[in-house]
A and B are shown apart, each in its own frame.
Chain A
Amino acid sequence: MSERPLLSLVATLALGAVALVLAATLPPAALVVLNNTVTLALFGMGANLLLGTTGLLSFGQAIFFGIGSYLVAMSWFHGWTSFWVAASLAPVAGAVTALAVGALALRSRRWFFALLTLGFSQLFFTIAQKASSLTEGDSGIFGPMVPRALADPHGGSLFIVAVATVAVVLLWVISSSELGLTLRAIRDNARRAMGLGIDVYRTRLLAFVLSGAFCALAGVLDAVNQQAAYPGLLDWEHSGDAVIVSVIGGMSSFLGPVLGAVVYQIGHDFLVRATLHWQLALGVVLLLTVMLFPDGLARLPRPGLWRDAWRAVRGRAGGGGPR
């Protein structure tokens, strides 16, 4: 996102406008697909704040997504508070949890960080399964947990699109701010950033907290869409979904995860109905993206792309080895 940040903002607003129109006009069956896509896009954008912008691979963002969904669900099920209060508190809850998790997790680097977040994801997943008096365990919580206006297909969709668009604009503000610059500096060369006087640990932690807030918001939107919360929302495979869409769409492009979400969701929904082998297609697309198009699909229309892809397939000539 170093080039043309303003273009990203314009694109975001344009996409948001298009999505609003779709949310108002599509038939209910198609709205489910739209909602899934927008929610996944926000989830991916939230996770990409860590992955693409800060260079941190986390397999734990589903924790915060799940917290968002569960807060809405449990507030309804146990009668704690209204939907609007729960929805507003969700990003805060996500941020606070992220602070606790991140403080511990960011003590380690690279693969250890990734594996650590994976461990946390599974830990929270297990807690959601076991604390059944709160969460209803493996059965999950299903039912009319959102106000009438949002349970209505169009009302719900408009809400989801509107909130997501505002959230992505907020992410744009963060990304194009000095914080964003700092994060990218850390991503590119953490040691040099430290030499420049940047507190790498604290800044990463801030990114982690912000990412947690946005992922929790995505969870709230998911609760509006599915009217459900269940432990599977918190496991590492769901965390992996956010990573997949960011990679496919392009980690280093601001709207990359959105593109990735569109490709993933539409592909998934279409493929699931056409054939049972959507996992194969997903795996192949991801593999090809990683091997041939490391910058993701967002950077596809670029001169010299195919030449670079061919080179990537051949690997560096001869040697190289495991390092």
Chain B
Amino acid sequence: MSLGDVASYLLSGLASAAILFLVAAGITLVFGGLRIVNVAHGSLYMYGAFIVASPFLALDALGAGAFWLKLALAPVLVGLIGAAVEIVVLRRLYHREHLAQLLATFALFYIFADLAQQIWGTAYRSVGAPAVLSGQVALFDRVFPVYSLFVVAVAVVTGLGLFALLRFTMLGWKVRAAVEDPELLSVTGTDVNAVSTLIFVLGAVLAGLAGAVVAPLQAVSLGMDASILVGAFIVAIVGGLGSIAGAALGAVAIGIFQAFAVVLIPSWSSVVVYLTMILLLAFRPEGLLGRAE
């Protein structure tokens, strides 16, 4: 394996890791903040992808700018869907046991899947990246798509932004306080309900962004919701449910591992990933950076 090969696999691994991180970050945030396992997270991801991959109003008339507009619009729209979900459904289930919330998101998974079929039909969609991102970059006598670098950049910026938001802003402090001690937080006059909605919306925005960014990379079709879900959950678990930094670490580990495994142990790479998840959950359920219960 030459240096070019290694660099090649590393970069592919990072590009996959970028998407995994964006999706897993949303999952881990919602779990950490609300203790909800959101099965419908994959649906939100799929919606983000469809919004970018489909003709939207008359935006396509704008030509090249259409992609950027849709890229910005998708997370916003998906965030709104997330807000609706939290307010209409989840908020009414907070006093119930956690199973009820999980089942509710499971029900929403089915509902969203069907609505997606009604809105976008069953055919797959293929959309290209805008010209400025379609080029190639040469490294180590190899060629890499610029778009992959773009995806990594988006993930890095988002991750840092998220970290900063939670660590250094008043809003972030409230989110973390809502996790630690909601009663105390409500005594300070903060509307805890609003904070819960915000957390969920943030998770939804991340999912929508991930979907939007991934749209030019693959055929966008129904079934994307289920296929991303297991992988993203594994990443979130490995990193530690509730930890954004953990999600990043888990994403990089799994992304790079899979990139190399595909060529070294092709048939059994997915088996190794599942085994890792199982062993981790059985012996260190808090994952790499999560807090022990």
Could you tell me which A residues sit within 8 Å of B by CB distance? 57, 104-105, 107-112, 114-116, 118-120, 122-123, 126-127, 130, 236-237, 240, 243-244, 247, 276-277, 279-280, 282-284, 286-287, 290-291, 294, 312-316, 319-323
**Known interface pairs A280-B115, A290-B104; A119-B281 also in contact (CB < 8 Å):** yes
Majority-rule SS of B interface residues = helix
**In the complex, what distance in Å separates the CA atom of A312 from the CA atom of B31?**
23
Question: In the assembled complex, which residues on chain A have CB atoms less than 8 Å from the CB atom of B275?
Answer: 123
Does A279 lie within 8 Å of B281, measured CB to CB? no
Does B113 lie within 8 Å of A287, measured CB to CB? no
**Known interface pairs A57-B99, A111-B98, A130-B271; A119-B234 also in contact (CB < 8 Å):** yes
Number of residue pairs A-B, CB distance < 8 angstroms: 144
Surface stretch bound by A, among B12-20, B54-62, B88-96, B201-209: B88-96
> Which of A116, A240, A314, A322 has the largest number of chain B CB atoms within 10 A?
A322
Could you tell me which B residues sit within 8 Å of A by CB distance? 31, 33-37, 89, 91-96, 98-100, 102-104, 106-115, 117-118, 178-179, 182-183, 186, 192-193, 196, 199, 226, 230, 233-234, 237, 241, 267-268, 270-271, 274-275, 277-278, 281-283, 285, 293
Apart from A105-B282, A115-B233, A287-B89, what 9 extra A-B contacts exist at CB < 8 Å?
A116-B281, A119-B234, A119-B281, A126-B270, A126-B271, A283-B110, A291-B89, A314-B92, A322-B192
**In the complex, what distance in Å separates the CA atom of A118 from the CA atom of B232?**
13
- Determine which of A122, A280, A315 lies in contact with B111 in the assembled complex, contact meaning CB atoms within 8 Å: A280
Does B92 lie within 8 Å of A116, measured CB to CB? no
Can you give 30 A-B contacts (C-beta < 8 A)?
A105-B282, A107-B282, A108-B285, A111-B31, A112-B285, A118-B233, A119-B274, A120-B278, A123-B274, A130-B268, A276-B117, A279-B117, A280-B115, A282-B107, A283-B110, A286-B106, A287-B89, A287-B104, A287-B108, A290-B100, A291-B92, A291-B93, A291-B104, A313-B92, A316-B94, A321-B94, A322-B94, A322-B196, A322-B199, A323-B182
